[in-house]
Each structure stands twice: as structure tokens, then as C-alpha cells.
Amino acid sequence: MSVLVVSPGRNPEAWVKALKNEHPGMNIYVYPEDHDKEEVEYAISWKHPRGIFKNYPNLKVIASMGAGVDHITSDPDIPENIKITRVVDEQLTEDMSAFVLALIMDKMRNISHYYSQKNWEPTSYRSIENTKIGIMGLGVLGKGVANTLKNVGFNVYGWSKSTKDIDGIHTFCGDENLTEFLSNAEILVCLLPLTPETENILNKELFEKLPKGAHVINVARGEHLVEQDLLEMIDSEQLCGASLDVFRKEPLPQEHPFWNHSKIKITPHIASVTNPKKVVPQMADNYERMSQEQDLLNVVERKKGY
């Protein structure tokens, strides 16, 4: 029984080292080195080449290297009997919460404005207690961000597909309550999982339901955003701007119009980065659980996509 590490474009050494430290007897292959596909029962993956997993007849589990799993679930060639797991890590949640808070405070206190304009003239700013933040997606990361912002003193609103009850957060669920939720989102944060239902959800129709002058933050997936609609809504002043950490194509091409737009702030997908040493123990745990035919932790519901 062997483990396959698949991470094109990433250095897998840290993952292999962490796996061997956690489970010295584990036999590990790194894609695309030569290996016996029939030996592999467990794969650890990030953005694998489409279709490769159908060639592993004994594969039982694919573990995502991060909290997101759309890079796995979007592959139609993965057999239905293979279980998919995701990472749940307190450090990822803390990092995401701190990053979103930093983006919000930068916007509210005009910090980037002063830097870019090199202007001494003070501008007015918003107070925390009078600002309404909307969080789209109340999973592990979304709930963590919502609680952090609530504890700072913001008025926090949350929206999710299913009902969520979070102390101190105004929660909404379902398409029928989306409009009311959006009307309260002066700053909108997208933390939705990427599924066929949420792809392109950040579009003109949605932006028009936000309060005029709203700011959009996307730290989920680039495919959530209809880019031309964002540009149109900013130029029409329906939106005052956006902070984007994720993009349809990464790295973002230098010729992309986002780079030169004064009201769009870009970061290179750094909101929350997985530390192999922190998350490999839960993968090794699931490896043992799989070996002993026990229930796995953090299993993804294939139909939901998260």
C-alpha cells in the first residue's frame, strides 16, 4: 500500500518530509516519478492533472492539501467510490480571519489611498461600530472570519446555502433571503466553496443589490467573479472598489486590466496558506483510518462539492 503526492508546480519535499516524520513506514511516491499505480490507495493532491486518478484501480482516498476541494471535485473522471477529504486547520482559519480584517481596515482607514496618492490631505473614514460586513459562506473559514469581525465590533451578516446559527451574527440562508442579506453588506466578503451553483455568483445582478458604494473582497476562488461585471460596476460607482486575492488565471497576467485599476487591490493568493507540518498529522490519521476501514475525518460530500 502506497501514498501518492501530486502537486504540479509546487515543491513536494516539505510534504514528503512531514509524512515520513509522522509515519516512518509509509511508502511515498511523488507524481510523475515512475511507480506502480496498483500499489497506490491514498493520494494527497493539489491541482492534479485532470483524469489521472482514473488510472489507479485501488485508489480509495484523495486528500486535498488545502481547505478547498474544487480542484478535485471538478474532475469528472474521478470514480464515485473514491472518498475526498479536506483540511480543517485552526491556523488556516486564523490566517484567513487576520487577512480579511487587514483588508477591511485598509479600506476603512484609507491606508492604501494615502500610500498610492502620496497626499498629506486627510480624508474621512468609517467607524467600526457603524459598518456592516456581509460574509458569503459560513463554513469553517467563513464562520471564523465572521466571529473575528464580530469580536472587533463590526455588525456582521452571514449568508449560506443551509441554515447556520452563529451567536451574534445576523444569518440568512437560501436564494430567497439573498437579496435581504446583500442589502446589509456595505463590505461584501466572498468565502463560498466553488460549486456549479456558486460559479459566477459575483456578477452584475448581485452587485446591484448591494448598497451603493459597497466594497467587494474575494478570498474564495477566482471563478466566483465575473470580472467584466466588476469593472463595470466600479466604473459606474455602484461599487467603490474591490480587494482580490484569487483569480481565474494565476499568476494574474501582467496585461490584465485589474493591475492598473486604481480601485482594485491585488494580492497573490496569500490569504491563508497551508503549512504541511500542521496538517499532515490529520492526513496520516486518515491514512490509518482507511487502512483499518474506519470512518474518515473531514470527508467531502461529493454532491454538494464541500
Q: Catalytic pick from 113, 170, 269, 289?
A: 269
What's the longest Cα–Cα distance across the chain? 67
Task: Sort strands 264-266 and 239-244 into parallel, antiparallel or unpaired.
Answer: parallel
Dihedral sign, CA of 203, 209, 212, 217? negative
Alpha helices (H) along the chain: 13-22, 70-73, 90-108, 111-117, 140-152, 178-182, 204-207, 227-235, 276-291
219 SS3 class: coil
| Contact of 15 with 280, CB cutoff 8 Å | yes
CA dist 95 and 275 (Å) reads 11
CA distance 158 to 140: 13
Contact (Cβ atoms closer than 8 angstroms) between residue 133 and residue 155: yes
Active site residue 256: no
**Hey, CA dihedral for 84, 88, 91, 94, is it positive or negative?**
positive
- The active-site residue out of 48, 86, 215, 221 is 221
Active site residue 261: no
Q: Could you give the residue numbers annotated as active site?
A: 221, 269
